[in-house]
């Protein structure tokens, strides 16, 4: 579990995060959503230790990462898997070597053990027979799955995903969403996703934090969104007339 308590962050005179608090539990797909400039990216960077908050606490299993010594922070970071927006694969490395990279950096395993683990995670994300291919030889969806395999190879307790569906078609996006949700539950990972994708919100949002102008505006699940009366949230989620009509119809059906 990760708990954010009263976190604040400013850059110069601009206050980006204001008194933000919430809990994110293991085994759930936790989403941070909001418009550009809402503070969600800064919030995620604070959570993984890239930015130092000006105030508040960020607790990993009750231990404040902000107050930790560097050695303790390193131990926590080694339990974090990261899926970057653009996949961030090494173009000069094969799929196999990309996934093996964290094992090379953070373990003393023998080559045979590393190959076994790499194959396990590649099989789990449905990427058989792709070991020797280079990123330029595979599709965008496959790149995301390679990046996901790399994020999982060290058996992380926490998984952070920055816009995992960026640049993908709707069908491939749904495959990635489903895979992340399955892995979250299967390995009891605390998964945190920063996203604009409304399909991800409605299909995968076990727990959702909606940010607006640096504050937590709303918190709930994808099921709660349909019945939310928060005007700012509704304007963000149901931006189009089609989606507004769909919400109204769903609410009418529920009331009958």
* Domain harbouring 62, CATH code: 3.40.50.300
- Which has the closest alpha carbon to 87: 3, 6, 166, 174? 166
Domain count, the chain: 2
Q: How much is the average pLDDT of 83-99?
A: 93
Q: How much is the average pLDDT of 141-145?
A: 93
Q: How many Å apart are CA 105 and CA 225, to the nearest integer?
A: 42
Query: Has residue 141 been placed in a domain?
Result: yes
Q: Are 117 and 216 members of one domain? A: no
Q: Which of 138-142, 209-213, 234-238 has the lowest mean pLDDT?
A: 234-238
Q: What is the pLDDT of residue 186?
A: 93
Query: Has residue 232 been placed in a domain?
Result: no
Q: Are 161 and 211 members of one domain? A: yes
Between 71 and 9, whose confidence is greater?
Answer: 9
Q: What is the pLDDT of residue 238?
A: 83
Question: Is 164 within 8 Å of 144 (Cβ atoms)?
Answer: yes
**Residue at which a domain ends, from 128, 155, 182:** 155
The H or E element that residue 186 is part of is: helix 170-186
Q: Which of 109-123, 182-196, 224-238 has the lowest mean pLDDT?
A: 224-238
- Which has the closest alpha carbon to 82: 202, 180, 214, 229? 180
Q: How much is the average pLDDT of 11-30?
A: 96
Q: Are 1 and 30 members of one domain? A: yes
Q: How many Å apart are CA 115 and CA 180, to the nearest integer?
A: 23
Query: Has residue 234 been placed in a domain?
Result: no
Q: Are 10 and 71 members of one domain? A: yes
Output the CA–CA distances (angstroms, integers) from residue 179 to 87, 148, 149, 202, 242, in the order listed.
Answer: 16, 9, 11, 15, 28
Residue 83 has pLDDT above 70, yes or no: yes
Q: Are 17 and 139 members of one domain? A: no
Query: Has residue 242 been placed in a domain?
Result: no
- Show the domain range for 123: 91-155
Q: Are 209 and 108 members of one domain? A: no
Question: Model confidence over 214-223: pLDDT tens digits?
Answer: 999 999 999 8
Q: How many Å apart are CA 19 and CA 53, to the nearest integer?
A: 11
Q: Are 71 and 185 members of one domain? A: yes
Residue 256 has pLDDT above 80, yes or no: no
Q: How many CB atoms lie within 10 A of CB 244?
A: 14
Q: Are 9 and 64 members of one domain? A: yes
Q: Are 69 and 101 members of one domain? A: no
Mean of all residue pLDDT scores within the chain: 91
Residue 22 has pLDDT above 90, yes or no: yes
Query: Has residue 150 been placed in a domain?
Result: yes
Q: Are 163 and 217 members of one domain? A: yes
Between 71 and 210, whose confidence is greater?
Answer: 210
Tell me 196's DSSP state: -
């Amino acid at each position: 579990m990760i708990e954010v308590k009263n976190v604040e962050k400013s850059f110069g005179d601009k206050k980006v995060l204001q008194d933000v608090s919430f809990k994110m539990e293991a085994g759930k797909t936790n989403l941070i959503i909001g418009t550009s400039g809402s503070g969600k990216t800064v919030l995620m960077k604070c959570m993984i230790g890239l930015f130092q908050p000006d105030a508040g606490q960020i607790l990993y299993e009750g231990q404040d990462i902000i107050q930790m010594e560097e050695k303790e922070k390193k131990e926590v970071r080694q339990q974090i898997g990261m899926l970057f927006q653009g996949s961030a694969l090494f173009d000069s490395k094969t799929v196999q070597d990309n996934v093996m990279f964290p094992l090379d950096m953070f373990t003393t395993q023998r080559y045979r053990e590393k190959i076994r683990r790499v194959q396990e995670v590649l099989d789990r994300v449905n990427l058989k027979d792709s070991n020797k291919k280079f990123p330029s030889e595979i599709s965008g969806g496959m790149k995301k799955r390679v990046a996901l395999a790399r994020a999982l190879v060290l058996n992380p307790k926490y998984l952070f995903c920055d816009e995992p569906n960026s640049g993908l078609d709707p069908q491939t996006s749904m495959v990635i969403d489903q895979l992340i949700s399955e892995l979250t539950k299967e390995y009891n990972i605390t998964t945190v996703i920063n996203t604009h994708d409304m399909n991800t919100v409605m299909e995968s949002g076990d727990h959702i934090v909606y940010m607006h102008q640096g504050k937590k505006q709303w918190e709930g699940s994808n099921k709660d969104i349909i019945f939310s009366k928060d005007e700012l949230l509704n304007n963000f989620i149901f931006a189009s007339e089609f989606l507004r009509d769909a919400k109204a119809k769903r609410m009418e059906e529920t009331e009958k």
